[in-house]
Amino acid sequence: VKEVNGFVFDFVAGEDEVARELREKVRVLCWVMTGPKNHEKKAIHVKRTWGKRCNILVFMSSVEDESLPSVALPVGEGRENLWGKTP
């Protein structure tokens, strides 16, 4: 039993064996569409949390940001332009 941030987890050694095997067989690409206003506000937290579970994590934005890193695309910001951030 392990407590983390007030939550109690009942962990048994070896119970993550299936997850470890799948990680070797299954590759996950995470494609995150974002914008410059959200790089430090939201995207960086994606990178630091669930983004670590992606084999490849790509941020698409209208501005390059090496801290993420993000790919700069010639697209305006706003929901109406999200399709421009997809291939």
Residue extents of the structural domains in the chain: 27-85
- How much is the pLDDT for 87? 66
Let me know: does 18 contact 12? Beta carbons within 8 Å.
Answer: no
Q: What is the Cα–Cα distance from 60 to 86, expressed in whole angstroms?
A: 8
Instruction: Read off the pLDDT of each residue in 48-68 and give the average, rounded to a whole number.
Output: 93
Helix (H, G, I), strand (E, B) or coil at 7: strand
pLDDT bucket at 68, cuts 50 / 70 / 90: very high
Task: Give tens-digit pLDDT for 26-50.
Answer: 899 999 999 999 999 999 999 999 9
Q: Where are the beta strands (DSSP E) in 5-55?
A: 7-9, 29-33
pTM listed for this prediction: 0.69
- How much is the pLDDT for 1? 63
